[in-house]
Amino acid sequence: MYRDPENGRHLCREHFLADIEIRVAETIRSRNLIVKGDHVAIALSGGKDSTALLMILTKILPSLDSVRLSAITIDEGISGYREDTIRSADRLVVRYGIPHITVSFPELFGGTLDAFLKGREPEACSVCGILRRKALNGAAEQAGATKLATGHNLDDESQSVFMNVLRGDLPRLVRDSGSDSQGRFIPRVKPLMFVSEKEIAVYLMLHGMWADLPECPYAVHALRGEVRRMLATLESKHPGTMLNLMKSKAKIEAQCGGLLMKETVNRCRECGDPCSGEICQFCKLKKSLKR
């Protein structure tokens, strides 16, 4: 049914599903990602990763005392892409009985991502990333969440490690989004960080929850796309490459993370959000957005 390319192990349906859930539970436990009393807001796009995250957390979190779940969906306004995933998210929260908040870029920022990106498509991921972060943080605060869980998987995380190396961005390489805000942001957690994209797809398929959803039309512009193809080729030829990148990051973090984390967190002089300089990325971006 599923063969682990790293060790050649074959798993049947039941053992594969159990293996994924045990690994996610272990990631949560060993890293204290979610603790007793937490209110976890899941960033639910309705795509495969966040769908799997919601299903797995719903299954494994009842073993933790008094943990609450809710879901946040951001409608960026990406025509021909987001409509399908939002419908999928709506069906999922009804099925699992999870409280759900949906917020849109037009209501928050006065326009769709499509409109903001006219003529600046190559910047799509950085513009969207800044706006999504602002939207998610605001909605998570509104929901009263204590943790914000995202569906980033092993492929995403290893790509980020590699991209930060390619950019020479050592501080970002060792930055931990769960704790780098010195208590001023709701910590982000990534319970699927050691589950591969393929394992997530198989998990959904075995649950009959696989949906053939489109890819973001702006993904073609991203450096990530090139890194993704390169790492996929390496992982195929040398299974374990992605996990090794994560281990490298952990070792660098252990050796010099503390030295690089001295940067103080200020308050943006325009909106008051935590930031490293005088003005946050969102306020810098806001001025250049076409509506």
Q: How far is the CB of 47 from other proteins (least distance, A)?
A: 2
When asked if residue 191 is in the footprint of other proteins (CB under 8 A), the reply is no
Binding test (CB under 8 A) with other proteins, winner from 25, 34, 38, 49: 49
Residues 149 and 193: their CA atoms lie apart, in Å, by 11
- List the alpha helices (DSSP H) in the chain: 13-30, 48-60, 82-96, 105-109, 113-116, 124-143, 154-167, 170-174, 197-206, 223-237, 241-260, 281-286
* Residue 82 burial (10 A CB sphere; 0-12, 13-18, 19+): buried
Binding test (CB under 8 A) with other proteins, winner from 6, 197, 253, 270: 197
Query: Which range, of 57-65, 131-139, 195-203, 269-277, touches other proteins by CB under 8 A?
Result: 195-203
Q: How far from chain centre, in Å, is Cα 38?
A: 18
Q: Which is nearer to other proteins, 138 or 225 (CB)?
A: 225
The closest alpha carbon to 31, from 259, 194, 199, 262, belongs to: 194
Q: How far is the CB of 3 from other proteins (least distance, A)?
A: 4
DSSP 264: P
Residues 224 and 84: their CA atoms lie apart, in Å, by 23
The closest alpha carbon to 45, from 96, 124, 129, 102, belongs to: 102
Q: Which is nearer to other proteins, 108 or 211 (CB)?
A: 211
Binding test (CB under 8 A) with other proteins, winner from 126, 179, 236, 276: 236
Match 């204590």 to its residue by tokens. Answer: 146
Residues 203 and 20: their CA atoms lie apart, in Å, by 8
Residues 74 and 65: their CA atoms lie apart, in Å, by 29
Q: How far is the CB of 171 from other proteins (least distance, A)?
A: 26
Binding test (CB under 8 A) with other proteins, winner from 77, 151, 187, 191: 151
Using CB under 8 A, count the residues that bind other proteins: 33
- Interaction with other proteins in 98-137: which residues (CB under 8 A)? none
When asked if residue 232 is in the footprint of other proteins (CB under 8 A), the reply is yes
Binding test (CB under 8 A) with other proteins, winner from 35, 94, 166, 205: 205
When asked if residue 219 is in the footprint of other proteins (CB under 8 A), the reply is yes
Residues at the interface with other proteins (CB under 8 A)? 1-3, 5, 10, 45-51, 85, 151, 155, 197-198, 201-202, 205-206, 210, 212-216, 219, 228, 232-233, 235-236
